[in-house]
Amino acid sequence: TTTSAAAYPRKILDYMEGFLVSKTLFTACELGVFDLLASSQRPLSLEEVAQGIRASLDGTERLLAACTGLDLLNTHTLDGQVIYSNTEQSSVYLTQSSPVSLTQSIHYSSKTIYLCWHYLTDAVREGSNQYEKAFGVKSEDLFEALYRSEEEMVKFMQLMNSIWNICGRDVVTAFNLSPFTTIYDLGGCSGALAKQCVLTYPECTVTIFDLPKVVKTSREHFVTDDNQRVSFHEGDFFKDALPDADLYILARILHDWTDERSIELLTKVYRACRPGGGVLVVEALLCEDGSGPLTAQLYSLNMLVQTEGKERTAAEYTALLTASGFQNIQVERTGKIYDTVLGRK
């Protein structure tokens, strides 16, 4: 019948063309459309935007039209001429100067993740990441490949940093972490989550444990001197000894690694952990029955093309934690992308 779902495959057509939407967003950000409109004191005409972003009139017109269709821009008519301005969300999230800007993440999605996803079919067939095909780099050492240049490393760190402006507070408040005063953020990267922790818990100190070159960059570009309760520890969490602490945070760490490597790391954490202490795992959790959430399902494919790991269910994390010695495992969902699992020693 004409009313059946099969009559017009809207969903499938949308999915087929989903990448057109992503690329429109990437391009508008790369050309600085939202920045230009934010810095101007008034809405701009097509001619003014084209000149400001140094692009063709015809191309700009189509780009602005698509952004309008995507609700990323507003249009008005003034004296018979169409003028463009940012929507509220665009000015908050798509301009570089905004404190909660997503432009760095969009840049990384455009320049790195998108290229890896070109080889998704191979990744699924082979069951492994596609760095060699996408970038010509061997990936035996995952983070050697991810950090194949200083520039790539900084871009990755910016990607990691930006989401915690949006989801960080929910993650650190999902459990009451106030009993834990000495905290190590293993693979703490740019320190965004460490900063959220010290803001939320006035008694705690957080040490960011990461690879030496990451620590160096984090010190230079991300963590300022006014973050007095945040400090650093250079090391390799697979090879070096872990300092003792009340709480270890592992945010988006286990999803990079196989079950074997995850248990190896968690067992080291368990041994270093003070009695009564714990480990907080922060990840995008999959539902037990595999039905969602879609973001986590897609992230798991992303882990396939980019890493050695995968996204897991709460039961799978519980099994990894239990196999490593942790007890009393509790799960808290935040309703945003990242959830938390707490294990105790």
Q: Which residues form the catalytic set?
A: 255
Site mask for ligand SAM (CB under 6 A), range 48-67, x = bound:
--------------------
Does 339 sit near ligand SAM (CB under 6 A)? no
CA pair distance 102, 149, nearest whole angstrom? 22
Indicate the residue whose CB is closest to ligand SAM: 187
Among residues 64, 66, 167, 251, the one that binds ligand SAM under rule CB under 6 A: 251
CA pair distance 222, 12, nearest whole angstrom? 42
Burial class of 212 by CB neighbour count within 10 A (0 to 12, 13 to 18, 19+): exposed
Does 189 sit near ligand SAM (CB under 6 A)? yes
Among residues 108, 201, 237, 317, the one that binds ligand SAM under rule CB under 6 A: 237
CA pair distance 60, 82, nearest whole angstrom? 13
Please tell me whether residue 138 adopts helix, strand or coil conformation: coil
* Amino acid at residue number 181: T
Does 253 sit near ligand SAM (CB under 6 A)? yes
Among residues 43, 52, 187, 278, the one that binds ligand SAM under rule CB under 6 A: 187
Site mask for ligand SAM (CB under 6 A), range 135-154, x = bound:
--------x-----------
35 is written with which tokens? 């920045």
Cβ distance 253 to 266 under 8 Å?
A: no
Contacts of 79 (CB under 8 A, 6+ apart): none
Does 252 sit near ligand SAM (CB under 6 A)? yes
157 is written with which tokens? 């760190």
Does 214 sit near ligand SAM (CB under 6 A)? yes
Q: What is the SS3 assignment for 303-321?
A: HHHHCCCCCCEHHHHHHHH
CA 68 to chain centre: 26
Does 188 sit near ligand SAM (CB under 6 A)? yes
245 is written with which tokens? 């602490």
Among residues 151, 238, 258, 287, the one that binds ligand SAM under rule CB under 6 A: 238
Report in angstroms how near the CB of residue 203 gets to ligand SAM at its nearest: 22
Among residues 25, 73, 154, 211, the one that binds ligand SAM under rule CB under 6 A: 211
Give residues in contact with ligand SAM (CB under 6 A): 143, 160, 187-189, 193, 210-211, 214, 236-238, 251-253, 256
